[in-house]
Amino acid sequence: MPPKHVIVIGAGICGLSSAIWLRRAGAEVTLIDRTGPGAGASYGNAGLLAEWGVAPVNTPGIHKTALKYMLNPSSPLFMQWRHMPRLIPWLRAFLRNSTDTRVREISTNLALLLHDSADQHRALVRGTRAEKWLATSDFAYVYKSRAAFDADKYGWELRRPAGFIPELIEGGAVQEFEPMLGPNANLIALTRNHGHILNPGAYMADLAQVFQDEGGTLRIADMRDVTLTEGHITQVITDHVAIDCDAAVISAGIWSKPLMKKLGLNVPLEAERGYHLHLKNPSQMPKTPMMIGWGKFAVTPMDGAVRCAGMVELGSINEPPSKQPIDLLRRFITEAFPDLEWEEAEEWLGFRPSTPDALPLIGEVGVTGVHAAFGHQHVGLTGGPKTGRWVAEMITGKGPNADLSAFDAQRFS
pLDDT in tens, 304-337: 999 999 999 999 999 999 999 999 999 999 999 9
What pLDDT digit, counting tens, does each position of 374-400 carry? 999 999 999 999 999 999 999 999 989
DSSP codes joined into one string, 354-399? E-TTS--EEEESTTSSEEEEE--TT-HHHHHHHHHHHHHHHHHT--
pLDDT digits (tens, 9 = 90+) for 123-153: 999 999 999 999 999 999 999 999 999 999 9
Identify whether 400 is preceded by a cis peptide bond (ω within 30 of 0).
Answer: yes
Q: Where are the domains of the chain?
A: 5-407
Q: In the prediction, which pLDDT does 3 show?
A: 73
Task: Kindly report which listed range (49-63, 209-223, 343-357) carries the lowest average pLDDT score.
Answer: 49-63
Q: What pLDDT is stored for residue 64 in this prediction?
A: 74
Residue 63 scores a pLDDT above 90: no
pLDDT digits (tens, 9 = 90+) for 9-26: 999 999 999 999 999 999
For the chain, percent of residues with pLDDT exceeding 90? 90
Task: Encode pLDDT of 157-214 as tens digits.
Answer: 999 999 999 999 999 999 999 999 999 999 999 999 999 999 999 999 999 999 999 9
Please compute, for residue 96, the number of CA atoms within 13 A of its CA located in the half-sphere on the CB side: 9
As a whole number of angstroms, the distance between CA 355 and CA 340 comes to 36
**Host H or E run for residue 101:** helix 100-114
3-state helix, strand, coil in the chain (%, to 5): 35, 30, 35
Q: Count Cα atoms within 13 angstroms, Cβ side, for 41.
A: 30
Q: Note the CATH number of domain 5-407.
A: 3.50.50.60
- Name all contacts of 84-87 with Cβ < 8 Å and 24+ positions apart: 87/270, 87/314
Note the pLDDT of residue 1: 63
∠ CA 209-215-221, rounded to 5° = 65
What is the model's pLDDT at position 2? 65
In the predicted structure, residue 242 carries a pLDDT above the cut 90: yes
| Residue percentage of the chain with pLDDT more than 70 | 99
Question: pTM for the complete prediction?
Answer: 0.96
Calpha distance 127→358 (Å, rounded): 33
Q: pLDDT tens-digit profile of 69-87?
A: 777 777 888 989 899 999 9
Average pLDDT over residues 349-358: 96
Q: What local confidence, expressed as pLDDT, does residue 39 receive?
A: 82
What CA–CA distance (Å, rounded) separates 131 from 122? 7
C-alpha 97/C-alpha 264 separation (Å) is 24
Mean pLDDT of the chain, nearest integer: 95
Give pLDDT, residue 226. Answer: 94
